[in-house]
Amino acid sequence: MQRQRLTITLKNDLISQVDKKIDGVRIRNRSHAIEYLLTKSLGNNITRALILAGGHGLKMRPFTYEMPKSMIPIHNRPILEYIIRLLRDNNIREIYIAIDYLGDKIREYFGDGAKFGVEIKYIKNAKPLGTAGTLKSAQAHLEDGAFVLVHGDVLADIDLVDMIDFAEEEKSLITMALTSIDDPSLYGSVKLRGAKIVEFTEKPAVNHHVSRLINAGIYIMQPEIFDYLPKIKTGSLETDVFPSIIKNRKITGYHFAGAWFDISTPKIYERALKEWTK
């Protein structure tokens, strides 16, 4: 990423506020802090997102007999509304939602997105296609630029502006958000070498060798991802696509420390109801 040196003059109290953003890890120095704050204010280079809101949600029955999993409420708002607010608050306002099972309930609630401050378009599939198949079905809408991909059952306190900045620095095909948990057996355990993901194990058996870093279900993807999906109609990104990309060292991990819940079981849902405060 090319940069130019500038000289600016700021009030002392403003400089103090800028310096508070410096943590030495994500925001390294005063110059980086100013760049971050400007990006946050002016907007990202990435302005589009795809939310995967399909699937039968079998593990969340009986809730999902009458609503898609992404519409399950947390403090009187559906999970999907929190995701849309996260995208909007990080200047990502062109949103595609992939729907199938009971998807009309999502369309009825969110409409064109205007009342939520975003523009929503729907990609409707006749049946669940899996994460890879659903991404493939959205290719015509996303193949001309980078985009954010989010699983529709994820609650995350994550700074997407910072993640996008990180992705642009690393220049990987995929940047995968990572979080840490004690039991990775329900998810995809990730091993890193530097920032590059070198191993991804879907739903691993837990032992002392297993990494506690997991795939958080949020990605920055370059449009070249579709080169890896030429014949896919159904299937999983995690098992059918990521292994070959990881082998080529083209996935970077972005570790964030904020709250995270994957509403995949009633037990996790109960915990989210108690602990989610965003």
b/e per residue 70-91 (b: at least 16 CB within 10 A): bbbebeeebbbbbbbebbbebb
What ranges in the chain are assigned the alpha helix state H? 12-19, 30-42, 79-89, 103-110, 130-137, 139-142, 160-170, 242-247, 266-275
| pLDDT the model gives residue 172 | 94
Helices 79-89, 103-110: axis angle to 10 degrees equals: 50
CA–CA separation, 48 and 62 (whole Å): 33
pTM beyond 0.75: yes
CA–CA separation, 137 and 26 (whole Å): 34
> pLDDT digit string (tens) for 8-24?
887 777 778 777 777 76
Cα torsion through 76, 270, 160, 206, rounded to 10: -170
Other CB atoms within 10 A of residue 257 CB: 11
Query: Could you identify the residue written with the tokens 């997991």?
Result: 214
- Closest by CA to 74, choosing from 60, 89, 87, is 60
C-alpha distances in angstroms, 240 versus 42, 179, 205, 231, 243?
A: 37, 22, 20, 11, 7
Here the tokens at position 137 are 């079905």
pLDDT along the chain (278 residues), means of 10: 71 78 73 69 79 91 91 96 96 96 95 97 94 95 96 95 91 94 75 88 66 90 94 88 92 94 92 91
| pLDDT the model gives residue 206 | 64
Question: Considering all CA atoms of the chain, what is the largest pairwise distance in Å, rounded to the nearest integer?
Answer: 60
With beta carbons less than 8 A apart as the criterion, state whether 106 and 99 touch.
yes
Angle formed at CA 122 by CA 116 and CA 126, multiple of 5 degrees: 145
**150 φ, ψ to 5°?**
-135, 135
| pLDDT the model gives residue 228 | 93
| pLDDT the model gives residue 258 | 92
What are the structural domains of the chain? Answer: 12-42 (no CATH), 48-275 (3.90.550.10)
